[in-house]
Amino acid sequence: MHEVRFHGRGGQGAVTSAELLAQAAIDEGKAAQAFPSFGPERRGAPVMAFARVADEPILNRTVIQFPSAVIVLDPSLPALVDVAQGIQADGVVVLNSSKSPEQIRKETGIKVKLAVVDANHIAREEIGRVITNTTMLGALLAAVSLVAPERLEKQYEGRFGRLASKNINAFKRALKETVVLDAV
């Protein structure tokens, strides 16, 4: 089973990302679930969302404490939150940053596999707004094969209507532009 934790800020689409990933997995015939974790936070406050993807039915309904993947939508969060907390030794941290993976590793001490993409830049160019959730799902799939990219594209079409093509373009760019650094 793959357990994924999303870190973002209110309004950035972390919850939507978890839902899109889970629905794409279900469309592939896998078992999946997605759920948010937030209280009375306002737009811009740190939030988390979670997704599980498995080949067998998922009976666990608890918060994910030991994820196999962590996706960080906002580049400022690693300075505020230990985004790698509980990550499995063979896991991956997927970060939105304009910095190199080597620079991030040096600054954060993250030792697991690290995938980095400048999702802010891609989203600004492709979508016209710095909302990175669909872009970051491309970065996730560049690092870990959880679902077929076409399944997520289908979800984008259903969820975003006339904005789907912009989100798909951002997603595809992230698939190509994500830099992956193996664990140390």
pLDDT, mean of residues 100-119: 95
Q: Indicate the pLDDT class of residue 41, thresholds 50, 70 and 90.
A: low
Specify the pTM.
0.94
Supply the pLDDT for residue 10: 86
Residue 82 has φ and ψ, to the nearest 5°, of: -80, 85
Q: Which domain holds residue 20?
A: 2-181
Neighbours of 179 (CB within 10 A): 15
Q: What's the CATH code of the domain at 109? A: 3.40.920.10
| pLDDT tens profile 49-87 | 999 999 999 999 888 999 999 999 999 999 988 999 999
**Residues 6 or more apart in contact with residue 161 via CB below 8 angstroms:** none
| pLDDT tens profile 10-39 | 888 999 999 999 999 999 999 999 998 866
Burial of 15 (C-beta count, 10 Å sphere; 0-12/13-18/19+): buried
| pLDDT tens profile 118-134 | 999 999 999 999 999 99
CA distance 84 to 123: 24
Supply the pLDDT for residue 11: 85
Domains contained in the chain, number? 1
Supply the pLDDT for residue 38: 66
